Amino acid sequence: MSVVILISGRGSNLRALLDSGVPVAAVISNQAGAPGLAIAAQHGVETRVVEHKAYASREAFDAALAAEIERFAPRLVVLAGFMRVLTPGFVAHFAGRLINIHPSLLPAFPGLDTHARALAAGVKLHGCTVHFVTADLDHGPIIAQAAVPVLADDTVERLAARVLAQEHSVLPRAVRWFLDGRLVIAGGRVHVKGDDAQLVLSARP
HSE (CB half, 13 Å, CA atoms) of 205? 3
Does the annotation mark 102 as catalytic?
yes
Which residue is catalytic, options 43, 102, 115, 126? 102
Give yes or no for a contact between 14 and 6, defined as CB atoms under 8 angstroms apart: no
Closest residue by Cα to residue 105 from 145, 164, 140, 143 = 145
Closest residue by Cα to residue 129 from 169, 88, 187, 92 = 169
- 3-class secondary structure, 137: coil
Give yes or no for a contact between 76 and 3, defined as CB atoms under 8 angstroms apart: yes
Measured CA to CA, the distance from residue 56 to residue 37 in angstroms comes to 24
How far does the chain reach from its first CA to its final CA, in angstroms?
35
**What percentage of the chain's residues is helix, strand, coil (to nearest 5)?**
35, 25, 40
- What are the backbone dihedrals phi and psi of residue 183, each rounded to the nearest 5 degrees, phi first? -95, 130
78, β-bridge pairs? 5, 99
Q: Which residues are catalytic?
A: 102
